[in-house]
Amino acid sequence: MLRNRIELDCQECSIRNDSAFGGLCSHSISAINGHKSSNIHRKGQILFHEGTRPLGVYCVNKGKIKLYKLGNEGKEQIIQIAKEGELLGYRAMISEELYPVSAETLEECHVCFVPKHDFLQMLSSNQELYAKLFKHACHELGIMTQNVTNLAQKTVRERLAITFIMLRETYGKDHDESNKTVINLTREDLANIVGTATETLIRLLHDFKEDNIISTKGRKIIIEDESELIHIANLS
Amino acid sequence: MLRNRIELDCQECSIRNDSAFGGLCSHSISAINGHKSSNIHRKGQILFHEGTRPLGVYCVNKGKIKLYKLGNEGKEQIIQIAKEGELLGYRAMISEELYPVSAETLEECHVCFVPKHDFLQMLSSNQELYAKLFKHACHELGIMTQNVTNLAQKTVRERLAITFIMLRETYGKDHDESNKTVINLTREDLANIVGTATETLIRLLHDFKEDNIISTKGRKIIIEDESELIHIANLS
DNA sequence: CGTGTAATTGAATGCAGTCAAACGAAGTGG
DNA sequence: CCACTTCGTTTGACTGCATTCAATTACACG
């Protein structure tokens, strides 16, 4: 077995208030707590595979997880980098479809799992949680229309700037001594977020470094000048 | 005033069962019916503008409506072509955000409008409708991840084939004597669905015509060979 | 039945992808 | 601990798909 158990308690969970489970009554929280299992996943493990049937939902307690869809040449298109507090896998369960994406850990992650049956029961008895998830899904749809427009109309350079701005949210808590965001992703993953070839991405990183917008330490990328990123992103 | 009233009755509505309001009890239907207004919109009218606050929801009874987002050069990215039966504008209302897209009629349309307050009241008293819309939103999210992947990884030629396959659903009821789907869109709109320049699109239409995949009658495009489209689309 | 908008074609440019090769870093096993 | 291996990164050269600009033709719609 590639994962290990860990003891996590929803009542004590520090990131609960940032998650979909924030603001729930203590009765609901203890219901979740009673049905979940908590696991440590090593880097590179798959939580679920695109095209498989949802078995439950995953609540990220710690670590980053990439959600990606495979194109037909086997190239990953990364749809989202999920961080602590995010609830994964509920959408396909609600729409009663197969997972449209795969979820893979980018580092060691602590993840709680709530089985489908228990989760659906909670949902049906908790209007507040239901409304919260519905709202979240509608919000995501708005973001996706923006993503589609960016991919269709913006240059790779602009999309890379947008990606960095977005990753600053995701990696905001990972910062260096001088409080600058540090992004730890392979060049290939970064290219698969932007939607370009790895070589093209590397050339653009070079340009950004020359302009002191970013710096690098090994594979790690440090965001140096966000205002210039916003400028390059050329947002409408 | 550029629109005219029309008398439509939800109880008698022929497309109701294809819509989000399908399968509701007759009590709910009459509640909707009592709160809606029905209008005829001429071609080119805007139902709502991107960036404005949702005032209610729109149920399409007849006609096609394009939903698009503006890029910063003013270029439209068409996210969806809505047809009869579709319910528009509920997502931004649920997520309590401004409209992420604009909605414009592509031909004369009959559209029923339900004001925000009435719609929200109906939602809160009708768990079934609520669940249906939530499910629909989650389904749309899956489609959007596919769209993102296609835009990022597929060539314009492949995306045009995919667009035609998609439009066959939308324009399925618009067919000629020999039962072939006829698509009536400007070249610019078609280009803005595919995510390319109008000139590029026209050149590809030329290629498709040479290969007898489509034919044209004026601006109208007739789908001649769907199996070849599927082949070109190169779906995973 | 005109007239402006849409569609089409041509030519030139360039952004980004692909292929190939070299270099570097990190991990493995002897 | 070091040689070996593998994977990730980087750079160079080349190609080509798609965009842009410009000019002409067709046709949709009032």
| B125-161 per-position pLDDT tens digit | 889 899 999 999 999 999 999 999 999 999 999 999 9
- Whether B28 and B127 map to the same domain: the answer is yes
Residue–nucleotide distance: B42 CA to D30 C1' (Å): 14
Residue A3's pLDDT is what?
A: 55
Q: How far from chain centre, in Å, is Cα B3? A: 20
**CATH number of the domain within which A52 lies:** 2.60.120.10
Domain count, chain A: 2
- Whether B125 and B203 map to the same domain: the answer is no
User: How much of chain A, in percent, has pLDDT values that exceed 70?
Assistant: 98
- Whether A17 and A69 map to the same domain: the answer is yes
Most confident of A190-194, A217-221, B72-76: A190-194
Out of B91, B138, B151, closest to residue A95 by CB: B138
Amino acid identity of residue B121, one-letter, is Q
Q: Is the CB atom of residue B157 positioned under 7 angstroms from any atom of strand D?
A: yes
Out of B71, B97, B138, closest to residue A137 by CB: B138
Residue of B nearest to A136 (CA): B95
What is the end-to-end Cα distance of chain B in Å, rounded?
Answer: 49
3-state secondary structure of B208: helix
What would the mean pLDDT of A94-123 be, rounded to a whole number? 95
Residue B3's pLDDT is what?
A: 55
Q: Is B91 at the interface with chain A, CB within 8 A?
A: yes
> Quick one: pLDDT band at residue A66, thresholds 50, 70, 90?
very high
Residue A169's pLDDT is what?
A: 94
The 3 state secondary structure assigned to A90-116 is HHHHHCCCCCCCEEEECCCEEEEEEEH
Residue–nucleotide distance: B234 CA to D1 C1' (Å): 52
User: How much of chain B, in percent, has pLDDT values that exceed 90?
Assistant: 78
Residue of A nearest to B150 (CA): A71
Q: Do A69 and B135 touch (CB under 8 A)?
A: no
Average per-residue pLDDT in chain B?
93
Q: Which residues of B181-194 are buried (b: 16+ CB within 10 A; e: fewer)?
A: bebebeeebbbbbb
pTM value surpassing 0.85: yes
Residue B152's pLDDT is what?
A: 98
| A2-18 per-position pLDDT tens digit | 458 888 898 888 888 88
- Whether A125 and A70 map to the same domain: the answer is yes
- Whether B38 and B137 map to the same domain: the answer is yes
Out of B77, B141, B142, closest to residue A149 by CB: B77
The better pLDDT of the pair A72, A38 is held by: A38
Tell me which chain B residues have a C-beta less than 8 angstroms from the C-beta of A134.
94, 130, 133-134, 137
- Whether B117 and B176 map to the same domain: the answer is no
Tell me which chain B residues have a C-beta less than 8 angstroms from the C-beta of A69.
145-146, 148-149
Q: Which of A124, A150, A176 is the last residue of a domain?
A: A150
- Looking at the predicted structure, is the pLDDT value of residue A47 above 90? yes
> Quick one: pLDDT band at residue A1, thresholds 50, 70, 90?
very low
- Whether A94 and A161 map to the same domain: the answer is no
| A124-166 per-position pLDDT tens digit | 988 989 999 999 999 999 999 999 999 999 999 999 999 999 9
Length of chain A counted residue by residue:
236
Q: Do B77 and A135 touch (CB under 8 A)?
A: no
Q: Is A128 at the interface with chain B, CB within 8 A?
A: no
What would the mean pLDDT of A88-104 be, rounded to a whole number? 97
Residue A91's pLDDT is what?
A: 97
Tell me which chain A residues have a C-beta less than 8 angstroms from the C-beta of B100.
141-142, 145-146
Q: Is the CB atom of residue B184 positioned under 7 angstroms from any atom of strand D?
A: no
For strand C, give the nucleotides within 7 A of a protein CB. Answer: 6-11, 15-20, 25-26
Tell me which chain B residues have a C-beta less than 8 angstroms from the C-beta of A95.
135-136, 138-139, 141-142
Q: Is the CB atom of residue A199 positioned under 7 angstroms from any atom of strand C?
A: yes
Q: Is the CB atom of residue A153 positioned under 7 angstroms from any atom of strand D?
A: no
- Whether A12 and A93 map to the same domain: the answer is yes
Element (H, E) at A164: helix A156-170
What would the mean pLDDT of B72-87 be, rounded to a whole number? 94
**CATH number of the domain within which B211 lies:** 1.10.10.10
For strand D, give the nucleotides within 7 A of a protein CB. Answer: 8-13, 17-22, 27-30
- Whether B7 and B92 map to the same domain: the answer is yes
- Whether B136 and B39 map to the same domain: the answer is yes
Residue–nucleotide distance: B122 CA to D3 C1' (Å): 73
Residue A132's pLDDT is what?
A: 93
Q: Which of B99, B126, B150 is the last residue of a domain?
A: B150
- Whether B103 and B16 map to the same domain: the answer is yes
- Looking at the predicted structure, is the pLDDT value of residue B1 above 70? no
Q: How far from chain centre, in Å, is Cα B104? A: 10
Lowest mean pLDDT among A12-26, A74-88, B84-98: A12-26
Lowest mean pLDDT among A167-171, B17-21, B43-47, B79-83: B17-21
Q: Do B142 and A95 touch (CB under 8 A)?
A: yes
Q: How far from chain centre, in Å, is Cα B114? A: 18
Q: Is A202 at the interface with chain B, CB within 8 A?
A: no
Residue B173's pLDDT is what?
A: 82
Element (H, E) at B40: strand B37-41
Rounding to the nearest 10 degrees, give the CA dihedral for residues B97, B101, B106, B109: 0
Residues 6+ positions from B188 with CB-CB distance below 8 Å: B198
- Whether A212 and A123 map to the same domain: the answer is no
| B92-104 per-position pLDDT tens digit | 999 999 999 999 9
**How many CB pairs lie under 8 A apart between chains A and B?**
132
Mutate to test the interface with A, among B151, B156, B162, B192 (most CBs of A within 10 A): B151
Q: Which of B150, B182, B211 is the last residue of a domain?
A: B150
Task: State the residue range of the domain holding B90.
Answer: 3-150
> What does the alpha-carbon distance between residue A52 and residue B7 come to, in Å, rounded to a whole number?
47
Residue–nucleotide distance: B159 CA to D14 C1' (Å): 26
Residue B145's pLDDT is what?
A: 98
